[in-house]
């Protein structure tokens, strides 16, 4: 039966160390080793997380199994 909740926190939950990966350094991650989704899904997740931190990511997919990302501050805000 459905019930009314007094409170609930909506948001993206993840076991990934986004604070570390979005520190401005250039990171290379491998599908199945560093993340458990497709490379394209991970690329999208990185873009979303970067926007949540007030920035963006440069990204490059290598060999369809690796991705290189680098966070940078969004200067247009």
Three-state SS at 28: strand
Q: Which pLDDT score, from 0 to 100, does residue 39 have?
A: 96
Count of the separate structural domains present in the chain? 1
Determine the Cα–Cα distance for residues 69 and 47; give it in Å rounded to an integer: 9
Range of the domain at 32: 18-73
**33 in a domain, yes or no?**
yes
**What SS3 state is found at 46?**
helix
pLDDT band (50, 70, 90) for residue 75:
confident
Residue 1 lies in a domain: no
Paired tokens of 24:
């401005």
Is 24 within the bounds of a domain?
Answer: yes
Q: What was the pLDDT predicted at 22?
A: 96
pLDDT in tens, 9-61: 666 566 899 999 999 999 999 999 999 999 999 999 999 999 999 999 999 99
Instruction: pLDDT band for 6, please (50, 70, 90 cuts).
Output: confident
The pLDDT score that the predictor gives to residue 70 is: 98
């Amino acid at each position: 039966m459905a019930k009314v909740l007094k409170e609930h926190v909506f948001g993206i939950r993840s076991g990934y160390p986004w604070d570390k990966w979005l520190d401005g350094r250039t990171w290379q991650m491998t599908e199945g080793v560093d993340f458990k989704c497709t490379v394209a899904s991970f690329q999208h997740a990185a873009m979303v997380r970067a926007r949540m931190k007030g920035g963006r990511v440069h990204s490059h997919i290598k060999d369809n199994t690796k991705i290189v990302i680098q966070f940078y501050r969004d200067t247009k805000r």
